[in-house]
Amino acid sequence: MPRGAKPRVAILREQGVNGQREMAAAFRRAGFSAVDVHMSELLNGSATLESFQGAVACGGFSYGDVLGAGSGWARSILYNARTFDQFSAFFARSDSFALGVCNGCQMLSQLKDLIPGAAAWPRFLRNRSEQFEARLVMAEVLDSKSLFFDGLTGMMAPLVVSHGEGRVDALADGSRLCLRYVDYRGEAASRYPENPNGSPDGSAGFTTDDGRVTILMPHPERVYLRKQYSWLPASAAGAEGPWFEMFRNARLWLA
């Protein structure tokens, strides 16, 4: 890519999604041209994914979550020939990447048949607490091929959760776990509230075999700046928070 060029990333949203502004801001700060793309534009053909290097499915409550865990959003892709073909072609490209957060995580998990290397991804079910969970939790980056977490293995930092259906149903061989909730000892969180939804082994994020597509239940885009935290250790210098490295890594991957 030419020096100084800003690769285009599609900030995808659907009716009810509300996390697109923070997501776009984080990617712009990392050197991307972040473009707002509503699903209606992909459905009617006024926009396509062909000119984008990245696609990000944002968090929120698509279709008011009345269809549950991003299912309505996923179905608008799976059961429409135009969007089915577009997303299939996008995921098949070796020069593309994708990120799904919260509702977008739930949605992409239901597209796993279209995503190379995602066959073992889990489903996301209602929280064990039977209530919406919204707060800061501690999370740890695990060793994986995720392009977003390159060089970050072992990092622990607070992350925002904001979901009612974030519980992983089960971990399968090859599920490619890349992020987990941890307790105050730095161990996999097995109990509430350190584990906000009851996922086994504190499961919070997954990636593909090649690391090009990653899905996360927590919201890194809501804490990508230092000032978005009430406190960080003095060692965390600079304007950006620790999770900003995810977005920087995506830009470096395209360099």
Which domains are present in the chain?
8-253 (3.40.50.880)
CB 78 within 8 A of CB 84: yes
Note the pLDDT of residue 60.
Answer: 83
Q: Which residues of the chain fall short of a pLDDT of 50?
A: none
| Residue 104 DSSP code | H
Note the pLDDT of residue 15.
Answer: 85
pLDDT in tens, 8-24: 999 999 988 889 999 99
Of 181, 186, 155, 154, residue with least CA distance to 166 = 181
| Residue 60 DSSP code | B
Task: List CB contacts of 81: < 8 A, sequence separation 6 or more.
Answer: none
Q: Alpha-carbon distance 32 to 15, whole Å?
A: 24
**pTM of the predicted model, to two decimals?**
0.95
Q: What is the Cα Rg of the chain in Å?
A: 17
The two beta strands, 97-101 and 54-57, are parallel
Note the pLDDT of residue 54.
Answer: 98
The encoded tokens of residue 158 equal 């607070």
Tally of CA atoms within 13 A in the half-sphere of 246 that contains its CB: 33
Catalytic residues, by residue number, are 102, 219, 221
pLDDT in tens, 25-80: 999 999 999 999 999 999 999 999 999 999 999 998 766 665 566 888 999 999 99
